Structure 1
Amino acid sequence: MVLPRLSALLITGAVAMQAVVAPASAATLPLAPPQQLQELQEQYAPSSLPATTYPAESGAPQPQPFGPDAYFGYISDISSYPGGTYYSVVDGFADLRANHPDTLAENLNITLSINNSASPERITRAQADARADSGGLLGTLSDAFGPTLGEQLRAAIAENRLPKTRAFLDSGYVSRAQGIAASTLVEKEIFNYPRPFEVAPELINKHNDGREDYYALNGSASFPSGHTNQAVLITTLLAAALPELGPQLLARGSEAGESWVVMGVHYPLDVIGGRMTGTAAAADHFNDPKMRDALNQVGQEIRTELTWRTGKPLTETIAAEQAAGRAYASNAQAATIYANQATYGLAPVYATDRPMNIPQGAPVLLHNRFPELSWEQRARVIAATALPSGSPLDKQDNGAAGSWQRVNLAAAFAAEVTVAPNGELSVNGSPV
C-alpha cells in the first residue's frame, strides 16, 4: 500500500522541497525582456558575502538577520488539512481520472497547443524561470515590482541587504517559510500521473537550452506541479506581507506554472492543482501567528529598503509606475490573468450554479490588505470576487478544504471595499 510509505515520509521529514519557477505570459502582460532573465539571475543571485553597508549620513537602513529562535517552532510546517498534507485540497483529480476522460484529453490538447505555439521569447523566459529553483527566485520574480522598484530590488539582493527575505523566501530548498507543508511529493505519489512529454513524446517540443536537461524527470509524477506550488507559495506570502503589490505578485506567481506547460513538463491541471496547494499552504503559514510575524518582518524589510533607495514611499512609486503604464500589470490585468489561469479554458465538469465554498483559512490572506475588516467580512470579499463554479477541480462539498480553484485572490486584493455606517459591506460598488 502507498499510505504507510507516505506516513513514513512525513514522520522522517524526508519530503523534500519542490523547485521554484516564476514565469509569465508574454501574450497577456507587458513583461521585462526575456533575454535579460539569464543575466539577472547570474548578476543578482544572493551572495554569501556580508551585506553592503552605507555611511550613517546616507540614511540607509541597517538590515538585521533573524535570530536563531526564528527558525523553530512553526505549527504551519505541517498542513492543517487531514493527514498533514494538501491531498484533500486537490483530491478531485481522482474523480477526473476515473470518470472524465474527455477532460484529461482536453488537458493534454491544451498542453500541446501551448508547448507547440510558444514564441522564442516565451521559451527563453520559460527556460530562465526553470533555472530559478535553488535560490535567487526573487530576482527572477522582480519584474512583478515594476521597472523602477524591480531594479532597486535586484540591487538590494546583489548587495545582500535583505537577509530576512533571503532566509525565509529566497534561499531555494532551505527557505524557512516552506517546510513539509510546501512539498507536493506526497500528493504526487498518491496520484502517480505521467508527464505530458512521456505520454506524447512525439508531439511535445523539448526546449532544452544546453545548460540543463529539463526533461530529466522521467518516471516522476506530474500532478500536482511542485514548481507551481513553490512559486505560488512564495508570491502569495509576499503579497500577504506586501499588499501594495499584491495583485501583481499573485499574477506573477500564478504564471509560474505556465512556463512548465510551455516546456511540456506539466499539464494545465497540474499547475492549477499546484496553485491550489500553494495558496492553501500560504494560508496555513499566515494563520500561524509566529510565521505571520516573521513574514511581516520580511515585508517591512523590503518596504524599508525600497523606500530608502527610491526616496519616496512605496505606494507613491507604484502609483507613478501604474499611471505611466510601466507597471508589470494593472490591478485589473492581474486579476484577469489570475482568473484565466485558474481554468486554462477547461470546460466545466460540475454544477455551475453553486455558492462559493470558501476554504477554511483563506480570509487571513487579506489580513494586511483590509486590516479594518473582520474575518467574516474578508470571507465575503473572497466570495464576492470568486470565479464561477463547476471547473474540473472545484470542490463543491462543504468540507474545510473548500474550493481553492475558485478563489481569485488577485481580484480580492484589487477590490474596492467599503463599509457603510450601518455595517453594510460593498465590494466594487455592490452590497454583499
Structure 2
Amino acid sequence: MHHARFLLHALPFYSLRVTTLAVVLALSACGGDDDGDDDSNAGNGGEAAYVIPAPPAGLGKVDTAPLPDAPAFVDFAATNQRGDPRYATLDSNAGVRVLGGFLDIWEPRTRLVDAGVTAAGADGFPGIIASDWTGIPGDATDGRVKNQAVHEENIDFVVRTTASRTAEQAKAAYLDDRRGKNYSVTDGLGPLTAAWRTAAQQTTSINDVAPDAATVKYDDTGNNTGVSGAANPAFGDAIAFVQSMGDNASTEPSKRFYKYARPWRWSASVQVVPELEPAKSSSPATDGGYPSGHTAESVRNAIAMAYLVPERFQELVARGVELGESRIIAGMHSPLDVMSGRILGQASATGNIFAASEGTRAVAYAQARQTLMAAVGASTPEAFLAFAHSKDLSEDRFADHDANKAEYRRRLTFSFTQIGDTGKPAVVPKGAEVILETRLPYLNNDQRRVVLKTTALPSGYPILDDAEGFGRMNLFAAADGYGAFNGDVDVTMNASLGGFNALDVWRNDISGAGKLTKSGTGTLAMAGANTYSGGTVIASGSLRADSDKALGTGAVYISAGVLVLNAKEAVQVQGSYTQTSAGTLEAHVGDDEAGQMAVSSDAALAGQLNIAFRPGYTATAGSTITVLRATKVHGKFDGITVKGFKATPIYNADSVQVRLDAAG
C-alpha cells in the first residue's frame, strides 16, 4: 500500500480517540505523493517512511499550590480588632500579623495594639494600658529603626515624589484624599463608569479642588458606594457585596500596633498638598501611618468590583493601587504605608469574598452583569466585553494594557531594593483563588491557586514576604493566566457559557517544562513570548496563537479542534507539528508573514486548512501564499478553503503554499 507512508509510533495509552485519529492520519492523510502533479507534490516523491510522533508527554503531573503553614487570615479575620485585649498582639490579631514583615524594618514602642487604647482585661487576657508613644519621631517615646537604609529609602521616596509632582497629580491626590474611596475607584470601569454610578445611585460632592485652604478631610456629603439592599432592587445586592469588604477590615489595629509616624512628621522636606494641610491630624499619638487606610479600602473595594465586573478586572485593580500611590503624592503616606495597605486590602477582600456563600456571590455577580449589560445595550457577553473596552486613551485612561501592567507592577514594590532571600518559593493564601473565580471561570480552584503562585512577585522585598503570600500577589498578572507551566495544564472551556468561557486571552510570558492541553468548545488565545517546553495539544475547541512565540518551545499536536494563526508574524513551532484528520489549521494571512507557521522540525499534515485575511490585507487572484515552512513536510491537508477564491495547494519538500485563483 504505497499511500501508507506514515508509521504510527508505539504510543502509550493516550485515548482511543486520539489513537484512532493517528491511525487515520498514518493510513490516509499523505496519499497521492506519487501521482505526478508537480504543483501539489514537488519534493515529496520517494521519501522514507515517517514515524508520526506521539502526542507530547509533558511532565505527567500537575502543579499545586498547597496551603501555607501559617494561620490563615480568612479563618481569623474577626480578630482584626482594637480595644479588645484578646487581640492585642502580633500572634492574636490577624490584621497585625499579616503586616509583620515591618518588624524587620522598625521596632514599635511596644508590641501591642495600644496607641491611644485602654481596655479592661477579659477571658484571662491582661488589660491594655495606653502606650506613652507620642507619635513624634526622635523623642524619648519613639520606636527604633532596625533597617536604616530601608527607612531612609522610604521617607526619601516621599520627599522626591512631593517635590516633583505636577499640578495635575496634586489635584488627583486631593480628590482621592477627600472624596469617597469607592467613588474614586469606579474610574477604573472606564466606559462602564457612568452605568455603574447610575445603577448604584452613587454620589459625591467633591469634583474639584476647594478654592481655599479652609477645607477639612472627610467632608464628602455623597454616599461613597451607593445604595444597597431593598432600597435599590436592581443593583442593591451588588452594592451590598462591595460594602461587605469592610467587614473586619480596619487598619486601625495595625496603625496602633506598629506606631510608625507619617512621612511629613519624619521629614520637613515632605510637601503635603497645600489644600490638604487642614487635614493633617493634630493627634500624632493616634495617627500612625502604617498601614494606609485609604489604600486598604481602595484595594479591597477594587477587588470586589473586579469580581463583579471581570471584563474590567485589571483596570479596576490598577485603579486600586493607583489610589494608594496618590497618598504618597499627597505627602500623607510613605511607600511602605501604601504597600502594607495593599496587603491588608487584599487579605480583607479575600476573607470577605471567601466568607460569602456561593449563592451570595452568584446573586451579586448576576445582578451586576444583568443591570450593566442592559444599561449599555449589550445583548451578549461578547458585546459587553467589547463595550467595556470600546474607548481609547482620550476617554479611558486605563485603555493601554501594557502601560497598566507596568505601572501596577511598579506600584507593588515602588522599586525598593530587595533585602531578603530572592529565591523563596511563592505561597498562596488560603481562599485567594476565589478572587479569580469570575475572571478565570473555566479553571478550577486548584488551577487558580497555581496561577496566583506562578504570577507572584519575586521574594526579598521589604515587608512583602508574609507567611501567607498576600504581599507577593500580583493580581494584574494573574488575570493574564499562568506565569509558568511547572506541571501539565489542561484547560477546558465551555463556549455555551459565554464570556471568558467562550474566549479568553493569556498575555503572560509562560515558562516551565509542562504541557498545555486545550479541551472543550471555547477559544484560548496565547499572546505572550512563551518558553514552556512540554508541548501543546489541541484536543478540542480552538487555540489561537496571537504572538509568534505563543506555542512555547515544544511539539504541537492537533488531535482535534483548531489551531488559529493570528500573529502579526510567522508563528514558531520549535518542535514537530502534527495535525490529524480531525484537526484544523486556520491561518489569518496578512503582511510580513502574518498567518504563516515556521516549524523547526517535521510537519505531518492532514485535516483541514482554512485561510482568512487580516483586516487591511487585500488578496489577489493569481497570487501565491506561503502557509507553512518546515524541515520536512509529510502528507497533505484533506481540504483547503479560502473565502472568495479557488485554492490550489502546492506541497514542497519543506513548505506548503496555496495559489489563489478566481472563484468559479
Q: Encode CA deviations 1:382-403: one digit per residue, 9 max, x unaligned.
A: 122112211001327xxxx423
Deviation at 1:178, TM superposition (A): 1.4
Matched position secondary structure for 1:349: coil
Q: Encode CA deviations 1:339-384: one digit per residue, 9 max, x unaligned.
A: 1111111111101122212222222211122222222211211122
Counterpart for residue 422 of structure 2: 352
Letter of the structure 2 residue corresponding to residue 140 of structure 1: S
1:384-395 equivalences under 5 Å are 384-395=454-465
Asked whether the 8 Å contact 2:308–2:369 carries over to 1, the reply is no
Is 1:149 aligned with 2:216? no
Relative to total residues, which structure has the larger strand share, 1 or 2?
A: 2
Give distance in 2, aligned partners of 1:198 and 1:320.
Answer: 45
Deviation at 1:129, TM superposition (A): 1.1
Give distance in 1, aligned partners of 2:309 and 2:455.
Answer: 20
1:10-21 equivalences under 5 Å are 10=84
* TM-score (ref. length: structure 2): 0.48
Counterpart for residue 124 of structure 1: 171
Matched position secondary structure for 1:229: helix
Asked whether the 8 Å contact 2:393–2:400 carries over to 1, the reply is no
Give distance in 2, aligned partners of 1:245 and 1:167.
Answer: 19
Q: 1:294 to 1:131 in 2, by over 3 A?
A: farther
Letter of the structure 2 residue corresponding to residue 88 of structure 1: R
Is 1:97 aligned with 2:170? no
Is 1:214 aligned with 2:309? no
Deviation at 1:10, TM superposition (A): 4.4
Give distance in 2, aligned partners of 1:207 and 1:152.
Answer: 32
Give distance in 2, aligned partners of 1:204 and 1:226.
Answer: 19
Is 1:193 aligned with 2:250? no
Deviation at 1:324, TM superposition (A): 9.4
1:102-121 equivalences under 5 Å are 102-121=149-168
Counterpart for residue 262 of structure 1: 329
Counterpart for residue 97 of structure 2: 88
Asked whether the 8 Å contact 1:143–1:150 carries over to 2, the reply is yes
Letter of the structure 2 residue corresponding to residue 109 of structure 1: D
Stretches of structure 2 lacking an aligned partner (at least 5 in a row)? 1-78, 108-145, 203-226, 484-488, 493-513, 519-525, 535-664
Stretches of structure 1 lacking an aligned partner (at least 5 in a row)? 16-80, 170-174
* TM-score (ref. length: structure 1): 0.71
Deviation at 1:330, TM superposition (A): 3.5
Give distance in 1, aligned partners of 2:318 and 2:303.
Answer: 9
Give distance in 2, aligned partners of 1:385 and 1:82.
Answer: 29
Counterpart for residue 176 of structure 1: 244
Is 1:310 aligned with 2:376? yes
Deviation at 1:94, TM superposition (A): 0.8
Percent identity (aligned): 25
Asked whether the 8 Å contact 2:241–2:304 carries over to 1, the reply is no
Q: 1:420 to 1:252 in 2, by over 3 A?
A: closer
Give distance in 1, aligned partners of 2:517 and 2:258.
Answer: 42
Deviation at 1:242, TM superposition (A): 2.0
Counterpart for residue 30 of structure 1: none
Counterpart for residue 277 of structure 1: 344
Asked whether the 8 Å contact 2:263–2:270 carries over to 1, the reply is yes
Asked whether the 8 Å contact 1:241–1:298 carries over to 2, the reply is yes
Give distance in 1, aligned partners of 2:491 and 2:360.
Answer: 34
Counterpart for residue 38 of structure 1: none
Q: 1:217 to 1:227 in 2, by over 3 A?
A: farther
Q: 1:208 to 1:187 in 2, by over 3 A?
A: same
Matched position secondary structure for 2:459: coil
Larger radius of gyration: 2
Q: Encode CA deviations 1:152-209: one digit per residue, 9 max, x unaligned.
A: 333334486633344443xxxxx33312x21011111110001111111x21222143
Greater RCO (CA < 8 Å, at least 6 residues apart): 1
Asked whether the 8 Å contact 1:238–1:299 carries over to 2, the reply is no
Give distance in 1, aligned partners of 2:324 and 2:290.
Answer: 12
Counterpart for residue 559 of structure 2: none
Deviation at 1:115, TM superposition (A): 1.4
